[in-house]
Amino acid sequence: MDEAKVAQCRALAQQIADDVQGYVDRHTTVGVERVTLRALGVTGVDDQGVPLVNLFVDKLQAAGALGLGACAVLGLSVARHGGDLQDAAERIAFGPELEHLLPKGHGPKSPCPPLSAADRAAALAVLGEPVAAALARIDQARHKKETLRAAYPATAQPGTPLKYVIVATGNIYDDAVQAKGAAHAGADIVAVIRATAQSLLDYVPEGATTEGFGGTFATQENFAIIRRALDEATVRQDRYVRQTNYSSGLCMAEIAWMAAVERLDMLLNDAMYGILFRDINMCRTFVDQYVSRRIIGRAGIVINTGEDNYLTTADAVERAHTVLASQFVNEAFAHRAGLPDELLGLGHAYEIDPSRPDAFLYEVAQAQLVRQVFPRHPIKWMPPTKFKTGDILQAHVHDAMFNLAGVMTHQSIELLGMFSEAIHNPLLMDRYLSLKATRYVFGTAKSLGDEIEWKVGGIVEQRAIQVLDETLEMLTDVANKGIWTAISEGAFADVKRTREGGKGFAGIAEKAEGYANPFLDALER
């Protein structure tokens, strides 16, 4: 591997991320303001189930004052009229108080004037203790999680991927039972698949849920239910079992907060997945993902990025370099949000057509290249899905080859393949057999990667060189154009999105002079 080319790729990714960060620093979103209110302790819903934080922020946006920040308005309300933050949030959401708090000359269609220096100072003075309490809540949850993990170390051997499985019944209480069953069968990580299209909801449902299509809604109470179930499994199995969910879409920052305080270990959190595969506006996504990752970093949560999805819409051989290029960019974004390499789980996948000659060598070349380029990262390796058919026996062999590639290239996290992938949602026995086969491959080939030296000039080496060269060429092009244009031209996953298109664009506001968000300021410090 040419280390100079790797360094060039990182420098170009940093240039790309700098351009985006400039935009992020100048803007806020309805999601950012909602998560700030949640962190400060604002809770509850109205009689229609709409979260109070949504009511507050929507009213702020309708008044054209989103650019001031929810903190400024909330703190000023307490400073002037008393009560606690919950009282003030309810007064603003349900009453006429907001119009009396905003600066004179303000209107929904006029530029948002700043608060006076005295009003801003009064607002911030009120928020000091609530911000400290919010950080303490994250820190206490992280300490409890890490203490429990230390008391029950995982049984996976160093260098062997953690075995990651999913549950997806739609009913959180059934999910809890299945999660414990998966742990009993040998899973190291259990993910509750999120209900179909929840990423497109611009609010987070409240409480436990028992109905969901294709998965279960991500809510704070649902997170707590699964955490309790996996804590029980941890004690019973005498090894720590990790929990993960999804922090993406229009509420990614809010879900990151919920995961932080409910002790989740991992989150699927990607700077570009929602843009490409859910048609969420890119400007909205970049701002929201930055704040979500600030929370995630404080909580010590490992993120998983979604580059594996690129290969479900693009050819895994011809477009392999787009995965590596996106990984470099995701790394640069994450570093700007304060995430260390040890929390940055970059994703890729085993998606080459199995009928292609030497397909296994091509898969190994990509996996080995990713592993070496990102040596400290908890790489997440995704199973074959694109070429799964109704032939479950062939699918089982396909997954076994995937497992072999994963263990020999020292992947960190492996989502296990299901041999019934193309037929139905996996049955309990499908998951059990997948875990059983994976344990066999991981055990019997545990040290295989340490024994191998790749042939100089061979297929694996030359393929890795080719992918790195193509990655460097692509990043050079993206850096010259800017990622906004590159995405609009379909550079990633062969999917085209426009800068002002997609869902959620209306939920962005430019920060006004004197914008206040002491919670985010504290996370950045």
Is-contact 16 492, C-beta < 8 A? Answer: no
| Cα distance between residue 425 and residue 454, in whole Å | 39
Catalytic residue among 202, 288, 308, 430: 308
173 is catalytic: no
Catalytic residue among 164, 203, 246, 273: 273
Q: Which residues contact 224 (CB under 8 A, 6 or more apart)?
A: 262
Alpha carbon 403 to chain centroid distance?
24
Catalytic residue among 59, 145, 180, 380: 380
Q: Which DSSP symbol is given to 114? A: P
For the record, the structure tokens of 362 come out as: 């091509």
| Strand-by-strand arrangement of the 189-192 sheet | 344-345, 302-304, 266-268, 242-246, 189-192, 162-167, 413-415, 380-382, 347-349
For the record, the structure tokens of 112 come out as: 């948002």
For the chain, what is the radius of gyration of the CA atoms?
Answer: 24
Q: Which DSSP symbol is given to 475? A: H
432 is catalytic: no
| Cα distance between residue 301 and residue 258, in whole Å | 12
Is-contact 112 106, C-beta < 8 A? Answer: yes
β-pair type (302-304, 266-268): parallel
Is-contact 459 358, C-beta < 8 A? Answer: yes
Select from 227, 120, 252, 185 the least CA-distant residue to 518: 120
- Please name the residue ranges forming H helices in 27-82: 30-39, 52-62, 70-81
5 is catalytic: no
| Cα distance between residue 337 and residue 306, in whole Å | 18
| Cα distance between residue 437 and residue 96, in whole Å | 63
For the record, the structure tokens of 432 come out as: 């059990």
Cβ neighbour number for residue 425 with a 10 Å cutoff: 16
Q: Which residues are catalytic?
A: 273, 308, 380
